[in-house]
């Protein structure tokens, strides 16, 4: 979920390296195109929900986490197979998307108009996916007991730091010394190995009923800290790509703002809860509890974006704050239908954007990338597995589960690859290698996490387990 919207960072380095678009969103949406964009959005959502439910149900029947079915389903309908759910950021055009071609035929649109409609509908779906991951992290925050999370706070910080330093160091040094990759591209690839996709891991933990276990709390806490560290790493490597130097002032600013935001959110909870419950009790119309709570989550997300952090961190912090109120269980039940509508868009979209074509060894330019990818995958797995052994003073803790829970990179690594490619730092083999690493770590982590947690004791009461949503 980190870096879904890179522009939210508002960093000069990212703006200068991120590819520009030929027109603004307002230009993509003139009045005569609006009905066709809506048609494209509706067809895309039909595809998403059918894919999500079919994939989730099949995965559940195979005793696998439903989120894995949603990801695989996204791959099937996306750029790798059926070409139904396509996005211009994957260099797709109107001729690559079956939905876009159907809209063009139904609307009798010329090529230029059809392309504008395609870009408009894709941007709407991407925004809905952003909202989906915000809702997911808000829901996860509600299910993460702040008192329990604070107990593992130091442990989570150690896990996060080890999970950033080890893969970054192994990846960068290995690429330079073994494959003779230039230093700055190697640093970019090493940075892509650092972060953890908290959205994917937390959804699996929730589905398995381990979100409030000791292992689950450490994984979630470490993944949040990983996101903060990832923002800093991204700022550093973007500076290197632009100037060859690191903007130390910007790095210091990010460290202070990230730390201050999270600590401030925790302190806010001590004063916010009483007032929030009093306001909710006085409201008499529908959504008396849900609307104020969700508004608070959006406010926190906006505030996080305003200080150059990720919006999802704000949503997670809002969930942590509201978890302390007496209305938490009631709010849990009310937020689930919203999550059921928006969260699948995120997971199916992640799968749809994963181009498995880079795995084809018959394409000559893929072969060098596949060799480097094998190295990156090994580093990506080992570099996160060791984090479980960074936990100390916790007898009986499932260290393997903690390490596996930190493995998936999700869309995070794809953004690093995108920035590196747009800046001209990454060549095709190295870019392909990063994409292969992201794809395999994303899809391997859910079943591995389920396997490592099977039979573990869950440290929670049965009433605290999230009901199945798939």
Q: Which of 156, 168, 161 is nearest to 382 (CA)?
A: 168
The number of angstroms, rounded, from the C-alpha of 315 to the middle of its chain's C-alpha atoms is 13
Residue 265 has a pLDDT of 74
C-alpha span between 236 and 88 (Å, rounded)? 27
In eight-state DSSP terms, residue 397 is -
Domains of the chain: residue spans and CATH: 33-127 (no CATH), 128-455 (1.20.1530.20)
**Residue of 34, 44, 94 whose CA lies nearest to 74:** 44
User: What's the rounded mean pLDDT across residues 179-208?
Assistant: 84
Mean pLDDT of the chain: 79
* Tens of pLDDT, residues 386-443: 998 888 777 778 889 999 989 988 656 666 666 666 567 777 778 778 878 888 888 8
The Cα 236–Cα 223 span in angstroms is 20
Closest CA to 185 of 443, 446, 432: 432
Residue 330: pLDDT over 90: no
Residue 227 near residue 312, CB atoms below 8 Å: yes
pLDDT in tens, 102-154: 999 998 888 888 898 999 999 999 999 989 888 988 887 887 666 666 777 78
The Cα–Cα gap between 96 and 87 comes to: 9
Q: Distance between CA 468 and CA 107 in Å, rounded?
A: 40
pLDDT digits (tens, 9 = 90+) for 300-310: 989 888 877 77
307: tokens are 């200080």
* Confidence (pTM): 0.73
pLDDT at 447 over 80: yes
Over residues 320-329, the pLDDT tens digits come to: 888 777 777 8
**What's the pLDDT at 375?**
94
Closest alpha carbon to 52 in 344, 410, 346, 469: 344
- Least confident interval from 244-258, 335-349, 397-411: 244-258
Q: What pLDDT, on the 0 to 100 scale, is given for residue 187?
A: 86
User: What angle do the packed helices 111-143 and 290-306 form, to 10 degrees?
Assistant: 110
* CA-based end-to-end distance of the chain: 20
Contact 412, 195 (CB under 8 A): yes
Map tokens 């150690």 to a residue: 158
Taking only the tens place, the pLDDT of each residue in 360-374 is 788 777 788 888 889
Which of 225-234, 244-253, 330-339, 459-468 ranks highest by mean pLDDT? 330-339
């Amino acid at each position: 979920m980190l870096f879904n919207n890179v522009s939210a960072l508002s960093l000069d380095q990212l703006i200068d390296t991120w590819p520009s678009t030929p027109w603004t969103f307002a230009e993509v949406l003139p009045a005569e195109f609006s009905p066709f964009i809506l048609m494209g959005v509706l067809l895309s959502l039909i595809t998403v929900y059918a894919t999500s439910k079919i994939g989730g149900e099949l995965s559940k029947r195979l005793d696998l986490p439903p989120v894995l079915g949603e990801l695989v389903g996204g791959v099937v309908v996306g750029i790798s197979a059926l070409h139904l759910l396509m996005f211009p950021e994957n260099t797709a055009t109107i001729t690559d998307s079956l939905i876009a071609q159907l809209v063009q035929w139904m609307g009798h649109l010329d090529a230029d108009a059809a392309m504008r409609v395609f870009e408009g509908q894709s941007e709407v779906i991407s925004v809905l996916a952003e909202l989906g991951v915000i809702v997911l992290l808000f829901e996860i925050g509600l299910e993460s007991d702040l008192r329990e999370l604070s107990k593992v706070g130091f442990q989570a910080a150690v896990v996060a730091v080890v999970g950033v330093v080890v893969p970054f160091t192994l990846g960068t040094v290995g690429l330079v010394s073994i494959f003779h990759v230039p230093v700055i591209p190697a640093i970019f690839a090493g940075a892509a190995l650092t972060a953890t996709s908290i959205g994917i891991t937390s959804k699996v933990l929730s589905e398995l009923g381990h979100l409030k276990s000791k292992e689950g709390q450490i994984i979630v806490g470490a993944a949040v800290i990983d996101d903060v560290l990832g923002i800093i790493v991204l700022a550093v490597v973007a500076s290197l790509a632009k100037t060859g130097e690191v903007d130390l002032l910007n790095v210091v600013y990010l460290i202070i703002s990230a730390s201050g935001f999270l600590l401030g959110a925790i302190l806010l909870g001590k004063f916010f809860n009483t007032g929030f419950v009093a306001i909710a009790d006085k409201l008499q119309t529908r959504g008396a509890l849900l609307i104020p709570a969700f508004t608070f989550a959006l406010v926190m997300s906006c505030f996080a974006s305003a200080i150059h952090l990720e919006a999802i961190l704000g949503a997670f912090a809002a969930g942590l704050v509201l978890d302390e109120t007496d209305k938490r269980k009631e709010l849990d039940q009310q937020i689930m239908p919203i999550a059921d509508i928006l969260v699948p868009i995120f997971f199916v979209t992640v799968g749809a954007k994963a181009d498995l074509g880079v795995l084809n060894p018959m394409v000559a330019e893929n072969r060098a990338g596949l060799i480097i990818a094998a190295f990156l995958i090994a580093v990506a797995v080992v570099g996160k597995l060791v984090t479980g052994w960074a936990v100390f003073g916790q007898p009986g803790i499932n260290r393997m589960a903690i390490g596996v829970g930190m493995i998936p990179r999700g869309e995070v690594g794809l953004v690093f690859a995108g920035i590196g490619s747009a800046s001209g730092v990454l060549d095709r083999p190295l870019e392909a290698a990063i994409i292969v690493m992201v794809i395999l770590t994303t899809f391997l982590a859910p079943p591995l996490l389920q396997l490592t947690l099977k039979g573990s004791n869950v440290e929670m009461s049965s009433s605290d387990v999230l009901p199945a949503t798939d």
